[in-house]
Amino acid sequence: MSKGALVISLDFELVWGVFDHVDIIDKVSYFNTTLLTIPKMIALFEKKSIHVTWATVGMLFNENWDEWHCNIPLLLPTYDRTSLNPYDYGTQHRKSNLDSFFFAPNLIKDLQSIKDQELATHTYSHYYCLEKGQTVAQFEVDLNQAIVIAKKFDISLKSLVFPRNQFNKDYLAVCSKYHIETVRTNPENWYWDVSKPSTFLTKIVRSGDAYLPLGTKSYSTDTLISEAVVCQPASRFFRPQHKVGLLNSARVLRIKNEMINAAKHGEVYHLWWHPHNFGIDSIGALKALTSILETYTYCKEVFGMESLTMKELKESCFGLR
């Protein structure tokens, strides 16, 4: 690839991605804001002709709790940490009257109607592939369930993002078996190695890396390997809005400079975040995103940079199967 490429992947999960460490009652305003902001985000992508991969938790495809209950797989993840069990959590909240935080079939249908938006998978249950207690057989059942429910929407899943970035190379064979062609992996930096326990030092360095020029995060497509499942490293997490304006500016400038560098050198810049991150200061978050996408437009006009989904990047590098 002689042209640079901007790849954006979103971990679309709503409450299924955070229930183990937040109280949903304290997050009602947060998720209400998220649901109001996602259509604005989609409209911005459409206006700027931005291709985006929406890695969607399969449970969001359900219409309601009755359908959710009918779709519970026979084999469930046996995490040592029982607080991670989404089926117990869902059962406890069936009468919470907060269904829009758990299911999003209409948003998914809206995404299907918008050009250049790829519906990908974030597993069915926001499955944790590095947690103790779970097995590859349980992951396979979970992934199959995600594929089955997506097919009801006439969606053929080709890309996958591992929840909490718990990339597990031992599970790639299952991905290939179910025709997943490409997955997102983590940056090569030592402080993004999620197979090891997170320490105070790794947290500090990750935070500093978001604001300070500690090297570039784009990469050449020559580093991607043509295997059954193509692994695409992430470059940058677009962090939520900060209360300190100076840090917000530094965070956005970091992303812009990295994107321009990628465009100049014909490299891939893979930006990701959770749509619910825009539940914090949604106006400021949309303004920051608009600024970033305007920089992409500059990179496109000056350097020929392309906007690609994960699936499109894989196809651009290695062609169709």
**pLDDT, averaged across the chain:** 92
Stretch 281-297: mean pLDDT, rounded? 97
Residue 200, pLDDT above cutoff 80:
no
Q: What is the pLDDT of residues 156-177, one digit of tens each?
A: 999 999 999 999 999 999 999 9
Asked if 16 and 275 count as a contact pair (C-beta separation under 8 A), the reply is no
Band (pLDDT 50/70/90 cuts) for residue 56 is very high
Which of residues 164 and 226 earns the better pLDDT score? Answer: 164
Residue 274, pLDDT above cutoff 90:
yes
Residue 95 main-chain phi, psi, to 5 deg: -110, 25
Read off the pTM. Answer: 0.94
- State the CB neighbour count (10 A cutoff) for residue 192: 18
Asked if 73 and 124 count as a contact pair (C-beta separation under 8 A), the reply is yes
Stretch 197-222: mean pLDDT, rounded? 67
Q: What is the pLDDT of residues 80-125, one digit of tens each?
A: 999 999 999 999 999 999 999 999 999 999 999 999 999 999 999 9
Residue 18, pLDDT above cutoff 50:
yes
Measured distance CA(245)–CA(233) in Å, rounded: 29
The per-residue pLDDT for 34 is: 98
Comparing 128-137, 142-151, 207-216, which segment has the lowest mean pLDDT?
Answer: 207-216
The per-residue pLDDT for 44 is: 97
The per-residue pLDDT for 159 is: 98
The per-residue pLDDT for 319 is: 73
Residue 30, pLDDT above cutoff 90:
yes
Using CA atoms, how far residue 138 sits from 50, 124, 126, in Å, is 35, 11, 12
The per-residue pLDDT for 248 is: 87
Stretch 18-36: mean pLDDT, rounded? 96
Band (pLDDT 50/70/90 cuts) for residue 214 is low
Q: Which residues contact 100 (CB under 8 A, 6 or more apart)?
A: 31, 35
Looking at domain 5-318, its CATH class is alpha beta
Q: What is the pLDDT of residues 227-244, one digit of tens each?
A: 999 999 999 999 999 888
Residue 196, pLDDT above cutoff 80:
no
Stretch 286-308: mean pLDDT, rounded? 98
The per-residue pLDDT for 245 is: 79
The per-residue pLDDT for 190 is: 46
Residue 24, pLDDT above cutoff 70:
yes
Q: Please identify which residue in the block is written with the tokens 């997170």.
A: 198
Residue 316, pLDDT above cutoff 70:
yes
Residue 62, pLDDT above cutoff 80:
yes
Share of the chain above pLDDT 70, in %: 90
Which of 10, 61, 22 shows the shortest CA–CA distance to 278?
Answer: 10
- For the chain, the three-class secondary structure string (H helix, E strand, C coil) is CCCCEEEEEEEECHHHHCCCCCCHHHHHHHHHHHHHHHHHHHHHHHHCCCCEEEEECHHHHCCCHHHHHHCCCCCCCCCCCHHHCHHHHHHHCCCCCCHHHCCCHHHHHHHHCCCCEEEEECCCCCCCCCCCCCCHHHHHHHHHHHHHHHHCCCCCCCEEECHHHCCCHHHHHHHHHCCCCEEEECCCCHHHCCCCCCCHHHHHHHHHHHHCCCCCCCECHHHCCCCCCEEEECCEECCCCCCCHHHHHHHHHHHHHHHHHHHHHCCEEEEEECHHHHHCCHHHHHHHHHHHHHHHHHHHHHHCCEEECHHHHHHHHHCCC
Band (pLDDT 50/70/90 cuts) for residue 186 is confident
The per-residue pLDDT for 318 is: 85
